Chain A
Amino acid sequence: MSGGAGGGFDLVVMGASLGGLDALGEIFSGLPASFPAAVAVVQHRRADSSASLAALFAARTPLPVHEAEDREPILPGTVYLAPPNYHLLVERGELSLSLDPPVLHARPSIDVLFESAADAYERRLVAVLLTGASRDGAAGIAAVAARGGLTVVQDPDGALSPVAPRAALERTTVRHVLPVPAIAPLLTDLLGAAVSR
């Protein structure tokens, strides 16, 4: 199966909890406007948080950013955020939401996003797990690897909270272990996005 976007990848999923705002912001600011894949993100947050993560991130990237709606089609070059207090799941070609119970105390859950994306996109998927204070994301990274997707984990040594990255590395052989500043260049490289063309 060949990907529609550059490098054979159609979707990037990212997950972060404690410390994620800075890490995600830095990665977004490094992605070019021509970034050809869709990006779906779970950042742990309080159920009643009213602050707009979308606005926060939109200020740092040329890509359109918004909170996902149920059954929204997955479009290239668009960043979708899990809304507070819902799980975000990937179906084939579209996003869905659920009110299933929290997983590892989290809703949205990184594992839920990653595992559903692994099923739907298999080897056309890149998964990026960032700083986090729980094990959420470790099982997800393992599922992505098992389905042939490409895995990236933030180097725990530089992470504000190394629990999640360490849990993933203990569980699975991860393809790339990188500090945050190296992640956007890797993604841009992998997806073959043209920065200035």
Chain B
Amino acid sequence: MQERQELEELELDLLLTGVAQRWGYDFRNYTEASLRRRVQRAMQLEGVRTISALQERLLRDPQSFQRFVSTLTIKVTGMFRDAEVYRALRKQVVPALRTWPFLRIWVAGCATGEEVYSLAILLREEGLLERSRIYATDLSEDVLRQARRGIYPLAAMREYTRAYQLAGGEADFSSYYRADDRNAILRPELSGNIIFSQHNLVSDGSFNEFHLILCRNVMIYFDAELRQRVYELLHDSLVKFGILVLGIRESLRFAPNADQFEPLSEPLRIYRRVR
């Protein structure tokens, strides 16, 4: 039993090292429990029985590798998830955003885009979308493709409408999409100021200075060392008094550079860079 587990760990190490060297994507600082589950799912998807067989496939086949990246980074979320966060953005963050003439916003780890469009709707209603540029990034080209399309299952819209209303939205939510028989297709004017692009928080540096960064439920997959690096990257990517929003179950409390931020709302994990 012990030996089997040690062998599995060795195989996993070899796989991740091989992938990092072959493709330049380094997953070695992802947390172990989630990583194991995801690698198992990747094995199922590829129809292989061992990690070594998965490795052989991933090193040779770029398409398998792209699927692997999606599987390892997938985040299943929804529009206006954690409605109270969006309500706080409206009430507490928007007034600060109004003080800047032009807004650069970064949604780091945007996954399939639900959060980006929710933010775009909110900014539009507050009259700020026209002077905003939203950079929405993710590691995976696959999910970025979905995010760019802005098409979501019609079946999810009832839940999203409710979340939108809980978030303080007062318009008719269905005015933001057009429906066909299965899908809701978001209005193109929502995406006019959004730039979707590939960015790797593990290996890429800061690429601009932002007034607002959303990095929600991304670092939950990172180990302590990688989280520390990403906190520094986020800090370096904010203007002074720029605002950082994390997932509501994450906290800056455990971050080494916590004193560079002050909470605007600790329970909702909304922080402002103060130094």
A residues sitting closer than 8 Å to B (CB atoms) are 48, 67-71, 83, 85-86, 89-92, 96-102, 107, 112, 115-116, 119-120, 146-148
B32, B219, B224: which has the most chain A beta carbons within 10 Å?
B32
Selected A-B contacts with CB under 8 Å, 7 pairs: A67-B249, A68-B249, A70-B220, A70-B249, A90-B33, A100-B37, A116-B36
In contact, B74 and A100 (Cβ under 8 angstroms) = yes
B31 interface hit (Cβ, 8 Å): yes
Q: A interface, by DSSP: helix, strand, loop or mixed?
A: loop
B250 interface hit (Cβ, 8 Å): yes
A67, A70, A116, A120: which has the most chain B beta carbons within 10 Å?
A70
Q: What is the minimal beta-carbon distance from B243 to any residue of chain A, in angstroms?
A: 20
B254 interface hit (Cβ, 8 Å): yes
Provide the residues of chain B in CB contact with A100, threshold 8 Å: 34, 37-38, 74-76
In contact, B37 and A112 (Cβ under 8 angstroms) = yes
With contact pairs A96-B34, A97-B220 given, residues A69 and B74 touching in the complex (Cβ less than 8 Å): no
Provide the residues of chain A in CB contact with B31, threshold 8 Å: 89, 91, 96
7 closest Cβ contacts across the A-B interface?
A116-B33, A89-B33, A99-B75, A70-B220, A98-B34, A101-B76, A70-B250
Tell me the chain B residues, 220-259 only, with Cβ under 8 Å from chain A: 220-221, 224, 247, 249-251, 254
Q: What is the minimal beta-carbon distance from A123 to any residue of chain B, in angstroms?
A: 9
In contact, B33 and A102 (Cβ under 8 angstroms) = no
Q: What is the minimal beta-carbon distance from A88 to any residue of chain B, in angstroms?
A: 10
In contact, A86 and B249 (Cβ under 8 angstroms) = yes
With contact pairs A70-B220, A70-B247, A91-B32 given, residues A99 and B254 touching in the complex (Cβ less than 8 Å): no
B29 interface hit (Cβ, 8 Å): no
Provide the residues of chain A in CB contact with B34, threshold 8 Å: 89, 96, 98, 100
B77 interface hit (Cβ, 8 Å): yes
B31, B33, B220, B250: which has the most chain A beta carbons within 10 Å?
B33
In contact, A99 and B32 (Cβ under 8 angstroms) = no
In contact, A69 and B33 (Cβ under 8 angstroms) = no
B1 interface hit (Cβ, 8 Å): yes
In the bound complex, what is the Cα–Cα distance between A148 and B75 (angstroms)?
A: 32
Contact for A115 among B37, B77, B163, CB less than 8 A: B37
In contact, B220 and A101 (Cβ under 8 angstroms) = no
Provide the residues of chain A in CB contact with B247, threshold 8 Å: 70
Provide the residues of chain B in CB contact with A68, threshold 8 Å: 249
B197 interface hit (Cβ, 8 Å): no
B198 interface hit (Cβ, 8 Å): no
In the bound complex, what is the Cα–Cα distance between A65 and B1 (angstroms)?
A: 34
Provide the residues of chain A in CB contact with B74, threshold 8 Å: 100-101
